[in-house]
Amino acid sequence: MPVFKTPFNGYSVKFSPFYESRLAVATSQNFGILGNGRLHVLDLPSSPTPQISELASFETADGVYDLAWSESHESLLVAAVADGSLKIYDLALPASSNPIRSFHEHTREVHSADYNPVRRDSFLSSSWDDTVKLWTIDRPTSVRTFKEHAYCVYSAVWNPRHGDVFASASGDCTLRIWDVREPGSTMIIPAHEFEVLSCDWNKYDDCCIATASVDKTIKVWDVRSYRVPVSVLNGHGYAVRKVKFSPHRQSLMVSCSYDMTVCLWDYMVEDALVGRYDHHTEFAVGVDMSVLVEGLLASTGWDELVYVWQHGTDPRAF
């Protein structure tokens, strides 16, 4: 399947919820430590051309750590930027007219962005300033700031069924569940003994959530009874950077790690590791599964490469 070379180090990759052949990639120069960023929007080849084509790219003065596609407008993207800003880009407009919005409230790097899939009118950002913020596209300031975590919030993700509920994963080793109608978090899960880098909700069970940690494990939790995890998945050799549940199969999830691999898991079977891909030659830090094409995976990493492949095939094979 096709590969795309980015000028900078890959940080995040997300498939479009509107077009099955479109995806976007967030990248940062110099491993995100110092320098510019770039957001790439890519179109997968329609055979016979094997090349991925770049539909658009947007430069930022600082690294881009994450992105989110709008759930209501096919041409809109949110970028999470290292200068503490969130920038909105519109693919329907020329590069000179972008970004169409820039929100700057976070006092440290913005590490994640997630669009509400139920309400489709708002999005979350999480930051190294220990907070999560709720935004709408047309409001110049954030709707609300959620401040309870004691360290960087690496990920904040909406529940796929409840439009008011989200989860946040933090370097303070906790997973918190929030309801935007409540004054504080509704649940605090001491998920790992090391930093929690990522979390994602099961798309078929709204009480099930996974966490990924520096401790090399992925844990699956039932929020109705969270004293012990439903499952603990071992197999990565270093910190697990991202975890993502399948949009098509309830017990399937994908993860990527500083061990340079992308792993596929079925947490309901005894031998949970059902696939391991070692195509990256540097830290694998971004991974996604297509909502529109079952089994289609994408990953990116610090080797400046974006791979798109069908599960069960070699990502490097053309």
Edge-to-edge strand order for the sheet containing 218-222?
A: 196-201, 208-213, 218-222, 231-233
Average pLDDT over residues 223-234: 97
pTM of model > 0.95: yes
Average pLDDT over residues 3-20: 97
Average pLDDT over residues 279-294: 98
pLDDT of 81 > 80? The answer is: yes
Average pLDDT over residues 289-314: 97
pLDDT of 33 > 80? The answer is: no
Q: Bigger pLDDT: 317 or 177? A: 177
> What confidence tier does 318 reach under pLDDT thresholds 50, 70, 90?
low
Domains assigned to the chain: 3-310 (2.130.10.10)
Average pLDDT over residues 133-160: 98
Average pLDDT over residues 140-158: 98
> What confidence tier does 317 reach under pLDDT thresholds 50, 70, 90?
confident
Q: If you average pLDDT over every residue of the chain, what do you get?
A: 96
pLDDT of 48 > 70? The answer is: no
Average pLDDT over residues 53-73: 97
For residue 46, what pLDDT is reported?
80
Average pLDDT over residues 65-84: 98
For residue 285, what pLDDT is reported?
98
